[in-house]
Amino acid sequence: MRHALITAGSKGLGRKVTEHLLEKNYCVTVNYRSDFHAVEELIGDYKQKKDNIHIVQGDVTNKEDIIKIVQSSYKKFGRIDTLINNAGPYIFERKKLVDYEDVEWYSMIEGNLSSVFHFVKQVVPIMREQHFGRIINYGFQGAEHASGWLYRSAFSAAKAGLASLTKTLAIEEAENGITVNMVCPGNIAGRMKESTIDEARNRRDDKPIGRSGTGEDIARLIGFLIHEQSDLITGSIIEATGAENVIHRFR
């Protein structure tokens, strides 16, 4: 049985990915940082899959926690087939670069870029032994082109760097049966992160396709990328935006 490790997998976009994996009969290690209530809800909703769920607390900005998460995950299931770097700190306050505190800057870089380095260092040797692995990173719309993002300088800098890292790692590990891709969700906000596609279709939206994106959209995309037969797709930065803001309009 395949085993996936997902960070921040108990709520938001991560919750829908976890649900998708459980429904596809994966064993899933779910990392969380502090919201144990969300973990309890997940376990309660999937009592019939309780033997397939492993919960590990840890902060992805902390290297020692990352090592603990991976070791606990591997000890529980004896393999790691998929690593989904879903967690990533985000500062909602709109502020310019020079207004960032040092601790905020380093939190963004450590949580969104360095954390992937530390996870990869732990997980790739396991995947090499298996000669199989799937790594999924998260970006934002435009990350592949290092687009600027006003008032989100630290986050966007980390994700643009991660886009480059994704491509490099894909080349380095291709011979080992490991694929590495980045998924870039469009503007999926609030309750839509844990919503289904059908729910979104019942709520009209002004996006080009007539509905908001959902957590299910991202989960289905990731489910395709981690499939055994999806090895041709690696080093790719894939946007899921519903065609929103895909045309640059000159003024």
Q: Is a pLDDT exceeding 50 seen at residue 232?
A: yes
**Of the candidates 187, 245, 244, 142, the residue with the CA atom closest to the CA atom of residue 13:** 187
In a domain, 250, yes or no: no
Q: Is a pLDDT exceeding 80 seen at residue 187?
A: yes
- Which amino acid type is present at position 93? E
* pLDDT, tens only, 1-35: 899 999 999 999 999 999 999 999 999 999 999 99
In a domain, 246, yes or no: no
In a domain, 190, yes or no: yes
3-state secondary structure of 189: coil
In a domain, 247, yes or no: no
**pLDDT above 70 as % of the chain:** 98
What's the pLDDT at 245?
Answer: 78
User: Which secondary structure element, helix H or strand E, spans residue 56, and what is its range?
Assistant: strand 53-57
Q: Is a pLDDT exceeding 60 seen at residue 174?
A: yes
Give the mean pLDDT of the chain: 95
What's the pLDDT at 248?
Answer: 53
Distance CA 240, CA 236 (A): 13
Structure tokens, 180: 């590495």
In a domain, 54, yes or no: yes
What is the pLDDT confidence band of residue 250, given thresholds at 50, 70 and 90? very low
* pLDDT, tens only, 94-112: 999 999 999 999 999 999 9
Domain span holding position 106: 3-240
Structure tokens, 12: 């938001």
Q: Give me the number of domains the chain comprises.
A: 1
In a domain, 204, yes or no: yes
Distance CA 219, CA 33 (A): 21
Domain containing 114 — which CATH number?
3.40.50.720
3-state secondary structure of 72: helix
Q: Is a pLDDT exceeding 50 seen at residue 129?
A: yes
What is the pLDDT confidence band of residue 67, given thresholds at 50, 70 and 90? very high
In a domain, 72, yes or no: yes
In a domain, 248, yes or no: no
What average pLDDT does range 227-250 have in this prediction? 87
